[in-house]
Structure 1
């Protein structure tokens, strides 16, 4: 749903034009809670939260059903602000195509920019192209290069799907959302919630400062173990990404 239509997604539902308040997302309603000021407000809050639990449950059920049959899947993250025709966009196409040609399905955040470019490349390779969108005030909708698209209200439900159905995380240059997914993956690997799970950063120049800070400052200050700094692999090319994925797949098959 792109182009001139000013509508937006609310969970899986598309609202056209001015329907609803685009600034008030489901996550915001859940997290920006104020204490009830009366018995009536308290009772209404109990009712609202009970229905909200069912809505959250329905997001997990919908995601599990849609992604149940995925195998050998790689999640790729990157900026929604990457411009069509830029070197970064072209890198995303090449990356999606290379991952697809290596026999993997691809999952992205389903939006524009780098996410769109990776899905486009996966489609060009004939690989399964999946997008997991999120309800945002400025949401532009799912990109048109998806075989499966699921839109979520809640970030935590969406993040669960990335982790549950992916065998690797790959990060193109991006902003807060990309960093959020990166550190989520690093935490899960460090705490052994997930194992044999490669985390690959694409673009040595872009990621150099962050990687040095992790491997030097955090280690020197005793905030992480020296081995924790090796949880990420930094590369420049799609071919290098595929090499990391193939090594991890071989290790899984040996178990």
Structure 2
């Protein structure tokens, strides 16, 4: 297992302990004035986006280290060491000037990605894949700090902030937060935003809805998104040492802005990596609220993992909204039929009761 070092203090401590740099990964370090730190065995070392003097670069290459250079002219960092915060994605946004959303890193990265089309320049394609790998590593490290397996909530992006469904999603989030779960969503608008608000501020649902309902939906232009974002930034979240909610959005659907309610965002370029990854890391189970084709796709991706135990033991699948999931979009009966007689069967629930849904998740958490 390689040791990853992401700051100079950690590198100095590593070297002062008498350790060499074989099979280490150094990420985004400015080593131009640190030649002495590299005067050691370097075979098998990997340097990602590090700055080196010409002498150190020649020595590292001769010693067998692999050097991945920084890639110029990109609006994002390829070699990330942490997830995105709301402040980072929306840096430079001025709520008094909704059009300023167009100048945020989130908007600029989306434009850059969209310009690549279906066949991106090979350099940019490689950069996006390296970025997504870094995000996955940061997400894995973040989730390792959770006391229980995180729970994901899936649902539609179209829920308006002033709708009863949005309030219901907030109440679901509040119940999950009170139960102590770290909650994952797709990171976008609608249910994906309402749930994190509830998780983080369970006793302030009415106040939040008053704050955000003045911009009930996001629109297509920067001005419309900016007004939606400005309203969403009004609630003041309490500080927390651990991330209570993590959004996992994608620039593939970059016209849908990431919501400002999540503690952190693991934002990807590749939607396929993002979708499969979201379901894979939700080891505490998944709650399905009413949604459209994307949510239905996630249902069967999730069940396939449970059916074949491809990522571990079968985890809960909770269909919240009995009439929707059995009549309007009858995915639940098919999943139940497929699970009959298998380990997954006991962890499938179709209910209208949030407390019942949370109770199943808590029971599962106590067995793992």
TM-score (norm 2): 0.54
Q: Secondary structure at the match of 1:143?
A: coil
Q: Does 1:106 align with 2:183?
A: yes
Aligned to 1:227: 341
From the superposition, tell whether residues 87 and 8 of structure 1 become closer, same or farther in structure 2 (CA, over 3 Å). Answer: farther
Counting only pairs closer than 5 Å after superposition, residues 168-183 of structure 1 correspond to structure 2 as 168-183=285-300
Larger fraction in strand: 1
The superposition leaves residues 74-124 of structure 1 with CA deviations (integer Å, 9 ceiling, x where unpaired) of 100100001112111011000000011011111111111001110110011
Shift in Å, 1:143? 1.1
Shift in Å, 1:214? 1.1
Contact 1:66–1:148 (CA<8 Å) still a contact in 2?
no
Shift in Å, 1:206? 0.6
Correspondent of 1:81 among 141, 153, 158: 158
Q: Which entry has the higher C-alpha Rg, 1 or 2?
A: 2
Aligned length: 227
From the superposition, tell whether residues 94 and 142 of structure 1 become closer, same or farther in structure 2 (CA, over 3 Å). Answer: same
Contact 2:169–2:195 (CA<8 Å) still a contact in 1?
yes
Q: Which has the higher contact order (CA 8 A, sep 6+)?
A: 1
Correspondent of 1:214 among 308, 311, 334: 334
Aligned to 1:15: 107
Q: Which runs of at least 4 in structure 1 moved beyond 3 Å after TM superposition?
A: 1-9, 15-25, 47-56, 65-68, 224-231
The unaligned stretches of length 5 or more in structure 1 are 31-43
The superposition leaves residues 163-186 of structure 1 with CA deviations (integer Å, 9 ceiling, x where unpaired) of 225311001001122112211110
Correspondent of 1:54 among 130, 135, 138: 130
Report the Cα distance in structure 1 between the residues aligned to 2:281 and 2:106, rounded to whole angstroms. Answer: 26
From the superposition, tell whether residues 212 and 79 of structure 1 become closer, same or farther in structure 2 (CA, over 3 Å). Answer: closer
Aligned to 1:205: 323
Correspondent of 1:143 among 247, 259, 274: 259
Report the Cα distance in structure 2 between the residues aligned to 1:8 and 1:207, rounded to whole angstroms. Answer: 41
Contact 2:177–2:199 (CA<8 Å) still a contact in 1?
yes
Contact 1:64–1:161 (CA<8 Å) still a contact in 2?
no
Correspondent of 1:121 among 173, 187, 198: 198
From the superposition, tell whether residues 135 and 71 of structure 1 become closer, same or farther in structure 2 (CA, over 3 Å). Answer: farther
RMSD of equivalent CA atoms: 3.2
Shift in Å, 1:69? 1.7
Q: Does 1:195 align with 2:313?
A: yes
TM-score (norm 1): 0.75
